[in-house]
Amino acid sequence: MQPNPVPLDARRFEGYAGISLWADVGGDVNAPPVILMHGGGQTRHAWAEAATALVDDGFHVVSLDLRGHGESDWASDGDYRLDAFVADLKAVISTLRSPPALVGASLGGIVSLLVAGESEQNIARALVLVDVTPRVEPAGANQIRGFMVGTAQGFRDIDEAAAVVASYLPHRQRPKDVSGLMKNLRMHADGRLYWHWDPRIMTREPTSHIDGFKTRMEAALSNVNVPTLLIRGKLSELVSPQSVAEFRALCPDAEYVDVPGAAHMVAGDRNTAFNDALIDFLKRRIGKSDPNRS
Protein backbone atom coordinates (compact mmCIF):
# COMPACT_ATOMS: atom_id res chain seq x y z
CA MET A 1 0.00 0.00 0.00
CA GLN A 2 1.42 3.38 -1.01
CA PRO A 3 1.62 6.06 1.70
CA ASN A 4 -0.75 8.99 1.46
CA PRO A 5 0.83 12.16 0.04
CA VAL A 6 2.30 14.24 2.86
CA PRO A 7 3.55 17.80 2.40
CA LEU A 8 7.30 18.30 2.70
CA ASP A 9 8.76 21.80 2.80
CA ALA A 10 12.17 22.92 1.54
CA ARG A 11 14.30 24.31 4.36
CA ARG A 12 17.79 25.76 4.51
CA PHE A 13 20.33 24.66 7.11
CA GLU A 14 23.75 26.20 7.70
CA GLY A 15 26.51 23.64 7.44
CA TYR A 16 30.24 23.66 8.03
CA ALA A 17 31.99 26.95 7.21
CA GLY A 18 28.64 28.60 6.47
CA ILE A 19 27.70 26.44 3.50
CA SER A 20 23.97 26.35 2.68
CA LEU A 21 22.37 22.92 2.85
CA TRP A 22 18.84 22.34 1.61
CA ALA A 23 16.48 19.64 2.78
CA ASP A 24 12.90 18.45 2.47
CA VAL A 25 11.41 18.63 5.96
CA GLY A 26 8.08 17.26 7.15
CA GLY A 27 6.18 15.86 10.11
CA ASP A 28 5.57 16.98 13.69
CA VAL A 29 8.72 18.68 15.04
CA ASN A 30 8.06 16.99 18.40
CA ALA A 31 8.05 13.52 16.83
CA PRO A 32 11.23 11.39 16.73
CA PRO A 33 13.48 12.95 14.07
CA VAL A 34 14.99 11.00 11.19
CA ILE A 35 17.73 12.43 8.96
CA LEU A 36 18.04 10.88 5.49
CA MET A 37 21.50 11.11 3.86
CA HIS A 38 21.73 10.11 0.18
CA GLY A 39 24.67 8.57 -1.66
CA GLY A 40 27.35 10.32 -3.69
CA GLY A 41 26.04 11.64 -7.00
CA GLN A 42 22.43 11.49 -5.81
CA THR A 43 20.10 14.11 -4.30
CA ARG A 44 17.49 14.13 -1.56
CA HIS A 45 14.94 13.05 -4.17
CA ALA A 46 16.39 9.53 -3.89
CA TRP A 47 14.46 9.32 -0.61
CA ALA A 48 11.14 10.72 -1.91
CA GLU A 49 9.03 7.66 -1.12
CA ALA A 50 10.86 6.86 2.11
CA ALA A 51 10.47 10.42 3.39
CA THR A 52 6.75 10.39 2.65
CA ALA A 53 6.29 7.00 4.31
CA LEU A 54 8.19 8.10 7.43
CA VAL A 55 6.15 11.28 7.85
CA ASP A 56 2.96 9.32 7.25
CA ASP A 57 4.02 6.95 10.05
CA GLY A 58 4.56 9.74 12.55
CA PHE A 59 8.24 10.69 12.28
CA HIS A 60 9.81 14.12 11.79
CA VAL A 61 11.93 13.87 8.64
CA VAL A 62 14.87 15.87 7.33
CA SER A 63 15.90 14.62 3.88
CA LEU A 64 19.16 16.41 3.18
CA ASP A 65 21.03 17.36 0.03
CA LEU A 66 24.70 16.81 0.87
CA ARG A 67 27.16 19.60 0.08
CA GLY A 68 27.88 19.70 -3.62
CA HIS A 69 24.63 17.90 -4.44
CA GLY A 70 21.15 18.99 -5.45
CA GLU A 71 20.13 22.40 -4.15
CA SER A 72 22.87 22.58 -1.51
CA ASP A 73 25.86 24.82 -2.13
CA TRP A 74 28.88 23.59 -3.99
CA ALA A 75 31.94 24.07 -1.78
CA SER A 76 33.66 27.22 -3.06
CA ASP A 77 37.00 25.84 -1.87
CA GLY A 78 36.31 22.35 -3.21
CA ASP A 79 36.25 20.90 0.32
CA TYR A 80 34.66 17.48 -0.04
CA ARG A 81 36.64 15.72 2.67
CA LEU A 82 34.71 13.24 4.78
CA ASP A 83 35.25 15.52 7.77
CA ALA A 84 33.47 18.37 5.97
CA PHE A 85 30.40 16.16 5.40
CA VAL A 86 30.59 15.04 9.05
CA ALA A 87 30.65 18.64 10.25
CA ASP A 88 27.66 19.45 8.03
CA LEU A 89 25.62 16.63 9.54
CA LYS A 90 26.51 17.65 13.08
CA ALA A 91 25.39 21.21 12.31
CA VAL A 92 22.00 19.94 11.13
CA ILE A 93 21.62 17.67 14.17
CA SER A 94 22.26 20.64 16.46
CA THR A 95 19.05 22.30 15.23
CA LEU A 96 16.79 19.40 16.23
CA ARG A 97 14.86 19.05 19.47
CA SER A 98 16.16 15.56 20.22
CA PRO A 99 18.78 13.16 18.84
CA PRO A 100 17.77 11.77 15.44
CA ALA A 101 17.89 8.40 13.81
CA LEU A 102 20.49 8.63 11.04
CA VAL A 103 19.67 6.83 7.80
CA GLY A 104 22.49 6.94 5.27
CA ALA A 105 23.16 5.28 1.94
CA SER A 106 26.66 4.88 0.53
CA LEU A 107 28.46 8.22 1.12
CA GLY A 108 25.60 9.32 3.37
CA GLY A 109 25.99 6.09 5.32
CA ILE A 110 29.72 6.59 5.74
CA VAL A 111 29.10 10.07 7.12
CA SER A 112 26.30 8.85 9.38
CA LEU A 113 28.48 6.07 10.79
CA LEU A 114 31.35 8.46 11.52
CA VAL A 115 29.00 10.86 13.31
CA ALA A 116 27.37 8.09 15.35
CA GLY A 117 30.61 6.28 16.17
CA GLU A 118 33.11 9.11 16.67
CA SER A 119 31.07 11.59 18.72
CA GLU A 120 31.86 11.74 22.43
CA GLN A 121 28.17 11.86 23.30
CA ASN A 122 25.24 10.01 21.74
CA ILE A 123 24.07 12.65 19.29
CA ALA A 124 22.22 9.98 17.30
CA ARG A 125 19.32 7.88 18.55
CA ALA A 126 19.64 5.07 16.03
CA LEU A 127 21.70 4.26 12.94
CA VAL A 128 20.55 2.71 9.67
CA LEU A 129 23.26 1.99 7.11
CA VAL A 130 22.05 1.32 3.57
CA ASP A 131 24.50 -0.83 1.62
CA VAL A 132 27.60 0.47 3.35
CA THR A 133 30.12 -1.31 5.56
CA PRO A 134 33.78 -0.68 6.48
CA ARG A 135 34.84 -3.09 3.74
CA VAL A 136 34.17 -1.68 0.25
CA GLU A 137 34.53 -4.09 -2.66
CA PRO A 138 37.01 -2.33 -5.02
CA ALA A 139 35.47 -3.69 -8.24
CA GLY A 140 32.06 -2.36 -7.31
CA ALA A 141 33.44 0.99 -6.21
CA ASN A 142 35.33 1.35 -9.48
CA GLN A 143 32.20 0.45 -11.44
CA ILE A 144 30.17 3.19 -9.76
CA ARG A 145 32.97 5.73 -10.06
CA GLY A 146 33.34 4.83 -13.74
CA PHE A 147 29.64 5.52 -14.33
CA MET A 148 29.83 8.90 -12.59
CA VAL A 149 32.97 9.99 -14.42
CA GLY A 150 31.78 8.56 -17.73
CA THR A 151 28.55 10.55 -17.67
CA ALA A 152 30.12 13.83 -16.54
CA GLN A 153 30.00 15.14 -20.12
CA GLY A 154 26.21 15.36 -19.86
CA PHE A 155 23.36 14.30 -22.14
CA ARG A 156 21.70 15.83 -25.17
CA ASP A 157 18.22 15.23 -23.67
CA ILE A 158 16.39 13.36 -20.95
CA ASP A 159 15.80 10.30 -23.16
CA GLU A 160 19.53 9.81 -23.61
CA ALA A 161 20.03 10.15 -19.85
CA ALA A 162 17.28 7.59 -19.20
CA ALA A 163 18.79 5.16 -21.69
CA VAL A 164 22.22 5.42 -20.06
CA VAL A 165 20.75 4.84 -16.60
CA ALA A 166 18.72 1.86 -17.85
CA SER A 167 21.85 0.33 -19.36
CA TYR A 168 23.74 0.82 -16.09
CA LEU A 169 20.87 -0.62 -13.98
CA PRO A 170 19.57 -3.56 -16.05
CA HIS A 171 17.93 -5.14 -12.98
CA ARG A 172 15.64 -2.10 -12.55
CA GLN A 173 12.57 -1.72 -14.76
CA ARG A 174 12.77 1.45 -16.84
CA PRO A 175 9.83 3.74 -16.02
CA LYS A 176 7.41 4.63 -18.80
CA ASP A 177 7.58 8.27 -17.74
CA VAL A 178 11.21 9.38 -17.38
CA SER A 179 10.39 13.01 -16.50
CA GLY A 180 11.18 12.33 -12.82
CA LEU A 181 14.83 12.04 -13.79
CA MET A 182 14.90 15.83 -14.21
CA LYS A 183 15.02 16.13 -10.42
CA ASN A 184 18.65 14.97 -10.70
CA LEU A 185 19.58 16.93 -13.85
CA ARG A 186 20.10 20.56 -14.75
CA MET A 187 20.44 22.19 -18.18
CA HIS A 188 23.62 24.22 -18.63
CA ALA A 189 24.32 27.09 -21.00
CA ASP A 190 25.45 24.67 -23.71
CA GLY A 191 21.95 23.17 -23.82
CA ARG A 192 23.05 19.80 -22.43
CA LEU A 193 21.74 18.14 -19.28
CA TYR A 194 24.18 17.42 -16.44
CA TRP A 195 23.87 15.61 -13.13
CA HIS A 196 23.12 18.07 -10.36
CA TRP A 197 26.31 17.60 -8.35
CA ASP A 198 29.73 19.24 -8.31
CA PRO A 199 32.12 17.33 -10.62
CA ARG A 200 34.98 18.32 -8.33
CA ILE A 201 33.70 15.65 -5.94
CA MET A 202 35.18 13.10 -8.32
CA THR A 203 38.64 14.67 -8.18
CA ARG A 204 39.12 13.53 -4.60
CA GLU A 205 40.65 10.15 -3.88
CA PRO A 206 38.05 7.36 -3.91
CA THR A 207 36.94 6.68 -0.34
CA SER A 208 37.93 3.02 -0.48
CA HIS A 209 41.46 4.00 -1.49
CA ILE A 210 42.09 6.50 1.33
CA ASP A 211 44.77 5.28 3.71
CA GLY A 212 43.19 4.36 7.00
CA PHE A 213 39.59 4.54 5.74
CA LYS A 214 38.69 0.95 6.64
CA THR A 215 40.43 1.25 10.01
CA ARG A 216 38.57 4.45 10.81
CA MET A 217 35.24 2.95 9.78
CA GLU A 218 35.84 -0.18 11.85
CA ALA A 219 36.75 1.89 14.90
CA ALA A 220 33.61 4.01 14.50
CA LEU A 221 31.40 0.93 14.08
CA SER A 222 32.89 -0.71 17.18
CA ASN A 223 32.03 2.42 19.15
CA VAL A 224 28.38 2.64 18.07
CA ASN A 225 26.09 1.99 21.04
CA VAL A 226 22.67 2.86 19.63
CA PRO A 227 20.22 0.56 17.82
CA THR A 228 21.74 -0.22 14.42
CA LEU A 229 20.41 -1.75 11.22
CA LEU A 230 22.28 -2.72 8.06
CA ILE A 231 20.11 -2.92 4.94
CA ARG A 232 21.93 -4.52 2.01
CA GLY A 233 20.88 -4.98 -1.58
CA LYS A 234 21.24 -8.70 -2.27
CA LEU A 235 22.68 -7.83 -5.70
CA SER A 236 25.05 -5.23 -4.21
CA GLU A 237 28.24 -4.59 -6.09
CA LEU A 238 29.81 -2.88 -3.05
CA VAL A 239 28.82 -4.96 -0.02
CA SER A 240 29.62 -8.67 -0.20
CA PRO A 241 28.61 -11.46 2.22
CA GLN A 242 32.16 -11.22 3.60
CA SER A 243 31.62 -7.50 4.20
CA VAL A 244 28.43 -8.30 6.11
CA ALA A 245 30.16 -10.96 8.21
CA GLU A 246 32.91 -8.52 9.19
CA PHE A 247 30.29 -5.86 9.97
CA ARG A 248 28.33 -8.18 12.25
CA ALA A 249 31.47 -9.27 14.07
CA LEU A 250 32.25 -5.62 14.89
CA CYS A 251 28.64 -4.74 15.76
CA PRO A 252 27.06 -7.99 16.98
CA ASP A 253 23.89 -6.33 18.27
CA ALA A 254 23.08 -4.81 14.87
CA GLU A 255 20.10 -6.05 12.91
CA TYR A 256 20.50 -7.04 9.27
CA VAL A 257 18.15 -7.15 6.29
CA ASP A 258 18.98 -8.41 2.80
CA VAL A 259 16.67 -6.96 0.14
CA PRO A 260 16.15 -9.34 -2.81
CA GLY A 261 16.30 -7.83 -6.28
CA ALA A 262 18.12 -4.70 -5.08
CA ALA A 263 21.66 -3.63 -5.89
CA HIS A 264 23.61 -0.75 -4.31
CA MET A 265 20.78 1.78 -4.63
CA VAL A 266 18.45 -0.24 -2.45
CA ALA A 267 15.70 2.34 -1.90
CA GLY A 268 15.38 3.12 -5.61
CA ASP A 269 15.48 -0.53 -6.63
CA ARG A 270 12.94 -1.89 -4.14
CA ASN A 271 11.19 1.03 -2.46
CA THR A 272 8.43 -0.91 -0.74
CA ALA A 273 10.69 -3.58 0.74
CA PHE A 274 13.17 -0.92 1.85
CA ASN A 275 10.51 1.27 3.46
CA ASP A 276 8.95 -1.69 5.27
CA ALA A 277 12.30 -2.76 6.75
CA LEU A 278 13.26 0.77 7.74
CA ILE A 279 9.97 1.74 9.37
CA ASP A 280 9.60 -1.59 11.17
CA PHE A 281 13.05 -1.11 12.72
CA LEU A 282 12.45 2.50 13.73
CA LYS A 283 9.06 1.77 15.28
CA ARG A 284 10.47 -1.13 17.30
CA ARG A 285 13.69 0.50 18.39
CA ILE A 286 12.89 4.19 18.88
CA GLY A 287 9.09 4.27 18.83
CA LYS A 288 7.09 7.32 17.87
CA SER A 289 7.15 9.34 21.09
CA ASP A 290 9.79 11.93 21.96
CA PRO A 291 11.33 11.22 25.40
CA ASN A 292 12.21 14.93 25.71
CA ARG A 293 8.64 15.99 25.19
CA SER A 294 6.73 16.86 28.35
The mean pLDDT value for 169-178 works out to 82
Write down the pLDDT at residue 209.
55
In 3D, which of 233, 229, 253 has the Cα closest to residue 241? Answer: 233
Instruction: List the domains of the chain with CATH numbers.
Output: 9-137+212-285 (3.40.50.1820), 153-198 (no CATH)
Determine the Cα–Cα distance for residues 108 and 131; give it in Å rounded to an integer: 10
Residue 195 CB partners (closer than 8 Å, separation 6+): 41, 148, 151, 152, 184, 185
Assign 290 a pLDDT band (cuts: 50, 70, 90): very low
Confidence tier at 2 by pLDDT (50, 70, 90) = very low
pLDDT recorded at residue 291: 41
**Pick the residue with more confidence: 231 or 4?**
231
Residue 198: what are its φ and ψ, rounded to 5°?
Answer: -70, 120
User: Taking residues 246-268, what's their average pLDDT?
Assistant: 96
Residues 142-158, mean pLDDT to the nearest whole number: 89
Query: Global pTM?
Result: 0.91
